[in-house]
Structure 1
Amino acid sequence: MTTSERAKMAAGEWYTCLDNELEALRVMARDAVFEHNSLPPRQRGDIGPALRALLGGVGEGARIEAQFHCAYGFNLFLGDGAFLNAGCTILDTAPVRIGKATLLGPNVQIYCAEHHREATERLAGLEIAKPVTIGDNAWIGGGAVILAGVSIGEGAIVGAGAVVTRDVPANATVVGNPARMIGKR
C-alpha cells in the first residue's frame, strides 16, 4: 500500500518534502501569504482574505501583521485575539495551535519540521513534522525561536531571542539559548 507524502507528514512519520503534492500546497500558501503581505492595511484587515481562507482556524479578533510567512497555512490555528507581530515565520508542517489572547512579538519563528540527521537522507528531503502548541495568554518575545514538538503552557512568557527546545510549563518565564526557566507565577 502506497501512502502519500502528505499523509506521512500528517501522521508524524518520515516523509520527503521534495514531493509534487506538497510543493503545490506550498505554492498555494505562498500565493496567500503574498496577497496578505501586499495588500494595503485597510484592505487587508486583520488577516488577508486568501490567507484567512487557507488557515486551519481563526478565532475572533485574531490578527497577523505583515510581513508574515507560513509553509502550508492549513496547519495553523489561531485562538480568539491571538496576535502575530510583523516578521513572524511559521513552518507549519504539523499543527501549530496558538491560544487565545496570545501575543507573538516581531520575528518569532516556529519550526515544526526536523530534518534527518544523516546527510544522504537530508539530501533526499527527508523530514519529520512535530506539532507546536502555545497556550492561552502566553507572550512570546521578539526574535524567539520555538522548535518542533514544543508545548508552551498557558500564561507563559518566552523572553526575546530565546530558543525554546523543550516544553515550557504554564505561567513560567524562560529566557536564553537554549531557553531555561527563570521564574514561575
Structure 2
Amino acid sequence: MSEREKMLVGELYDPTDGELMELRLNARLLTEKLNTTSVSNNGQRIELLKKLLGSTGKNIFVESVFNCDYGCNIHVGENFYANFGCVILDVAEVHIGNNCMLAPQVGIYTATHPLDPFERNCGLELAKPINIGDNCWIGGRAVINPGVTLGDNVVVASGAVVTKSFGNNVVVGGNPAKVIKEILVQD
C-alpha cells in the first residue's frame, strides 16, 4: 500500500513520501496563485478553485487567504462560501454539503498525530475524515477536529471546538462543543 493510500484510509503514513510532497507543493502553488488573484477576477478564482479542490458545485466563493494541505481531498457542494483565513487540513477527505458557509478563520482539521511519543517523534502521521451536511454555518474561529461528522442544518457557534459528531438541526458551541439549542426546521 502506498503512503497516500495509507493516509486516506487512516493508517500511519510517512508525510515525507515523494508523491505526497509533490501533491502538497501543487496545492501550495495553486493556493498561492488563488490568494494573489484579484477579487475582481472571480472567473479565474473559480477556475483555480476547481483545479485545486477534488470537486465543487457551480457556485463557489472563497475569500483570501485560503490554505489547505492537498486540496484534492476537499469536496464541496453547491453554494459554498468560505470567509477570510479559512484553513482546511485535508489529509483525509473533507466533504461539505450544499449551501454551507464558513465564517472568518474557520479551521477544519483532518490531520492528527499518534499519541505514542515514539511514533509521533518518528514523524508518522494519521488522518480522519470530516463530513459536514447541507445547510451548515460554521461560526468564526470555530475548529472542526478529525473524524467529526455534522448533520444537515447544523450551526457551530463562533469559537467552538468540535471534538465529536452531531446530528441534524442543532446549534453547538463551547469547548468542547455541545448542543446548546435545537433548530426547528420548517418544511
TM-score (norm 1): 0.94
Quote the offset at 1:123 in angstroms.
2.1
Over 3 Å counting, the alpha-carbon distance change for 1:47 and 1:154 in structure 2 is farther
Quote the offset at 1:129 in angstroms.
1.3
1:145–1:163 Cα contact (<8 Å) kept:
yes
Unaligned runs of 5+ in 1: none
168-177 or 10-19, which deviates more: 10-19
* 2:125 is the alignment partner of 1:152: no
**1:26 counterpart residue number:** 24
What whole-Å deviation, never above 9, does each CA across 1:26-48 have from its counterpart, x for those lacking one? 00000000000001112244835
Q: Counterparts of 1:39-58 in structure 2 under 5 Å? A: 39-45=37-43, 47-58=45-56
Name segments (4+ residues, structure 1) moved above 4 Å.
Answer: none
Q: What's the % identity of the aligned pairs?
A: 44
2:140–2:158 Cα contact (<8 Å) kept:
yes
The code of the aligned residue for 1:33 comes to T
Unaligned runs of 5+ in 2: none
Quote the offset at 1:14 in angstroms.
1.3
Q: Counterparts of 1:30-179 in structure 2 under 5 Å? A: 30-45=28-43, 47-179=45-177
Quote the offset at 1:85 in angstroms.
0.7
What whole-Å deviation, never above 9, does each CA across 1:99-128 have from its counterpart, x for those lacking one? 111111000001101101122211222121
Over aligned residue pairs, what C-alpha RMSD do you find? 1.3
What whole-Å deviation, never above 9, does each CA across 1:120-176 have from its counterpart, x for those lacking one? 211222121111011110110000000001011100110000000000111111111
